[in-house]
Amino acid sequence: MVFQLGDFREEEGWVSRLKQVLFGSFLLGVFLLTGCQHLVIDTDKILKSDIDLPEIVGIVAGFGTTFAAFPDLLAMLKRRSSLGMNPRMGAIMGAFQVLWVYYGMLIASRPVIIWNVIAVFINFLTVGAYAYFLRKEKEKSLSAATGSKSSS
């Protein structure tokens, strides 16, 4: 019974952290949206079809940095385990890449906008997969501990 109570408290701590992250994300979103009243998006520049050298460099650089976290996500999905992963880096990177998207809109840069939207998705997917596999691992260890106690 004490074992279950400890797990319940640990689960409450996880939910509390999740609420803090969601609240922080909400505040960041509100902050960004309040700044959008002065945002003037140059749609002609974003939607233009001619590509110049700085944009090509931006596309290549964005590809490299965007998919830097992708091998970790693939390894975690292949292993079906959260072992060796740290979700903080993905969460922090994803949160600040939202600012890069906003910056990309301010300067009307397609590479900055596109690659950072993709990177936000990859980083938050990594954090979500980590949380999912961690929960599955805890459930598995709890059932194994409960099963071994009931059989003794």
Domain ranges of the chain: 37-146
CA distances from 34 to 29, 30, 40, 95, 120 (A): 9, 6, 13, 17, 21
Give the C-alpha separation, 116 to 121, whole Å: 8
Within a 13 Å sphere around the CA of 149, how many CA atoms are in the beta-carbon half? 10
pTM above 0.85, yes or no: no
The conformation of residue 69, written as its DSSP 8-state character, comes to S
How many Å is the Cα radius of gyration of the chain? 21
Give the C-alpha separation, 140 to 108, whole Å: 48
pLDDT in tens, the chain (152 residues): 344 444 444 556 666 776 777 777 767 766 666 665 566 666 666 666 666 777 777 778 778 777 777 888 888 888 888 787 777 877 888 888 888 888 888 888 888 888 889 888 888 888 888 888 888 888 888 888 787 665 55
Give the C-alpha separation, 124 to 51, whole Å: 30
Q: What is the CATH number of domain 37-146?
A: 1.20.1280.290
